[in-house]
A and B are shown apart, each in its own frame.
Chain A
Amino acid sequence: MSEDDSMTPEEALGLKLWEHVRGQKKLVWDEFKQATTAPNVVDCIQRLTTVLNDVYQGVQEVIKSAGPLKSLPFNERDLISDAIFPFRERQAVAFLIRPLLLAHFATWRSVYCNVAVEGRVHPWDPNEVARQKIPREKYTTAFKELLRCMRDKWNFEKILEWNMAAQICQLASSYIHREIYLSVHIESKWLKKMISVMRRWAASISMQNAYEAAVVHIYRDMIDFLIGKIYDLVFVEFPRSHKSIATLRYCMQQADDYGRARLSDTLVEHVEKKLLLTAVGTKKILNGYASCVESLRELDTTCVVMHRVCNVIKEYLKSRSDTIQQIISYITSDKKEELEKNMTKRSAMMEEDELKDVNNEFLPENMDTSLWNRWQPDPIDVQPGDSGQVRQGADVFNMLVSVYGSKELFVKEYRTLLADRLSNSNSKDPRFEKRYLDLLKLRFQYSELQNCEVMLKDVEQSQKIDWAVSSAPIYGCIISSHYWPKFDSDKQPTPLPEPLEKAMNVYSETYSQVRGSRSLRWLRGVGCVDVSIELDGVKVEKTVPNMYATVLYLFLEKEVWTATEISDKLGVTSFVAKRRLEWWVKQGLLVQTVAAGATSEEWSLTRNAPLMNNNRAKSPESFDEDEVAMEDANGIVESLEQYWSYTQKYIANHAQNGEVKAEQMHRIYRMFGSPTAHGPTLDHVTTFLQRKVQLGLLSYTNGAYRVPEKCV
């Protein structure tokens, strides 16, 4: 054969060796297969080693029999490894080797880590193996011998390594899944411990490379898993999910911020899908917002992810009409204890916009260079021009205030709320408010909060007068009207029942005595009264806003009233009178009756007095804000007329594309308003603009207003 002739002796040897080893393949595989049935028996391991050694000897003999040769053009060990464990059959090879490795892990673990991971008993308890009393030392030595043989004589290093890496990954993930099953949230301490076990195992059979390759994937798997449920961790379960968050942070640090972009994308996506829905209440969104700030702050100390997610929520919140009210009550009542704790820690708040594009390194705080060696660069996903100072200084309080867009607006709202609480509420607590105000002072400049301080002092001083007047159960709130927001009170105040008026006069006189040359003007519509209402032997205690109490007092005179009579008596519109009567109907005290032949509706005291008790649970202080709103709506819309010529010119000349949305105008009008007034709501602005549309002074298309050509 010409081909045979042309072959060099070395090539011929190669071919011969190949054939020889291929012949041995079945033998070796059979032996491995047999070993897998009892991979932890020392005999099996030893026999496997012997077989491998025998094959190696055979190969050496074949080489020797070929006589002296020049250097071989191939590595005989590579050749053997290729012939017996070919690359294309690596899946099958893995099945052969895996049981060996696992069995070793189980035995090793029972010997060296007796208190294995966490000391819990594993569901497929590998300690079972230990209880079978295998001679461990012997086994370990035998296994090491086998590995050495495979490595040195056979060059199975590569195959072993990637099998080992795969094994580590699988073991780790099964451990993790078990841990999740057992304790829901994974502690980073646990993860570290588990990973260190893997490292020690790999080291025990000198497979550090395999460990290095595998550990990255353990972290990544963990990150992937946690990102999968990040929404729940951040919004639903926080702060219970604290451990998982810490673990995620640890993993991301270890894995070079793997999955960071996906983390924020996933969160934003879920937030939009699950949280920012019309059906979700503003309070719930605020709760979510707060836990988002706290949890993401923990997760990412640079706060970039937090700001990205929060901005999405913030933009949405701005479009809701009740946000501002909700935030204030959220900050100052729902979460006050919690926020109080944190408040003392941080320094004054800075306006975000002020610091835009400022080089952080030149801020006075950063001129202190003593910490230069702890400087950290901004992460790569940070927005350019974003100030790290503001970003990292953010906490729940700052983030909530920043929803407003400005501190002034916040202070304005805070003042209104404070006024409401101090004057209307039955359980005012100036001492607490004072403490809270002191905390706020840390965040705001003094001048911004001066009004609030005067308000508190007013309340404290009025309490002193309260003590001096002992004749009647009267508690006053004497305000310095210049510093308080305007109260909506009845235009023509109705006098209260005689004994109360008398008490008020006494109060007035006492005040004038105590505070020389000052007199009082009562705001009768503000405040509330604790009354015991007794009807047909049923007694109910209630706290009633004074506005509604005036109606109640009228029923002391006669039992049946019409809305017109009431509105005449109280000097309010009949619409408002009806609203107040209906409030009492809801409380169960009045019933509405239409007498036969009567032209107007009448209200009378109920015959079914026990009904009042059923309604007791209803909030006693449900001040009906709508009423005031309805009264004022027309006035506010009228007051917008003064801006009409400005509005017209603004739309025609300054607005983008010559058109504006109602929201835009609303924002502008609010800037004009004095800080004390409530200002127009979006509804008012819309009403106002629609009125102009009806007059033909504006045109309205697709939600935007423009000035028609002829009017420009």
Chain B
Amino acid sequence: MEQQSGTARYNKASSKGLEPVQDENLMNSRQKYLPKESVVLETKTRLKLTVNKLNVTAEWKWTEGGEDTCGICRMEFEAACTNCKFPGDDCPLVVGSCRHAFHMHCIVKWTEAASNQPKPQCPLCRQEWKFAT
């Protein structure tokens, strides 16, 4: 396993649910422009409310990693690594078997570096680096 090239590892990582979902399929599977039904709220008073459209905001977080920064690029996990422009799917997060998380681009670069061959280690705990299953 350790002899595999970086690209192969990337593929391996992707196969574990990190690959971006095909947005186009998602969009086509539903009727995009169908107006959604309003919601009538339950009431105990004279006031009756019907919600026609709710605009809400949320911030996303990786389920792994916690409130930390990437140990390699020092950027937040929710931000993109230094080589990427867009966070999220374009710059995913990976977790090693040692439970340390990094931006995938950062750790791949690290494990591929000549000085870390043939047995790349986690830069934080020096255990052998393996993608967590």
Contacts and interface: CB of A to CB of B under 8 A. Distances in A.
A503 B56 CA distance: 11
Nearest to B55: A527
Interface residues of A, number: 69
A215 interface: no
A474 interface: yes
Nearest to A482: B79
Interface string A528-565: 11111111100001000010000011011111000000
B77 to A, nearest CB: 9
B31 to A, nearest CB: 8
B47 A534 contact: yes
A18 interface: no
B52 A532 contact: yes
B87 A531 contact: no
A516 B49 contact: no
A518 B20 CA distance: 12
Contacts of A556: 41-45, 47, 49
A15 to B, nearest CB: 104
B126 interface: no
Contacts of A468: 26, 30
B58 A473 contact: no
B36 A500 contact: no
A504 interface: yes
Interface residues of B, number: 50
Interface string B44-61: 111111111111111111
A293 interface: no
Interface string A483-494: 110010000000
Given A472-B39, A522-B56, A535 B64 contact: no
B93 A517 contact: yes
Contact of B85 (A453, A476, A535, A555): A453
B124 interface: no
A454 B45 contact: no
A426 B55 contact: yes
Nearest to A424: B55
Interface string A586-614: 00000000000000000001000000000
A446 to B, nearest CB: 9
A286 B52 CA distance: 38
A669 B54 CA distance: 38
Given A450-B85, A482-B78, A515-B60, A475 B46 contact: no
A533 B41 CA distance: 11
A516 B63 CA distance: 9
Nearest to B89: A515
B61 A519 contact: yes
Contact of A523 (B42, B58, B64): B58
Contact of A503 (B17, B32, B54): B54
Given A475-B54, A477-B57, A499-B41, A517 B62 contact: yes
Given A477-B58, A526-B57, A527-B57, A482 B87 contact: yes
Contacts of B51: 473, 499-500, 529-531
14 contacts: A464-B26, A467-B26, A468-B30, A473-B54, A479-B59, A483-B79, A487-B57, A497-B42, A516-B21, A518-B62, A521-B58, A521-B59, A526-B56, A530-B52
Interface of B: 17-19, 21, 23, 26-27, 30, 32, 34-39, 41-64, 75-76, 78-80, 85-89, 93
Given A522-B56, A552-B49, 17 more contacts: A424-B55, A453-B85, A454-B80, A461-B23, A464-B23, A470-B30, A473-B54, A480-B78, A484-B59, A500-B51, A517-B17, A518-B63, A519-B60, A529-B54, A531-B49, A534-B49, A558-B44
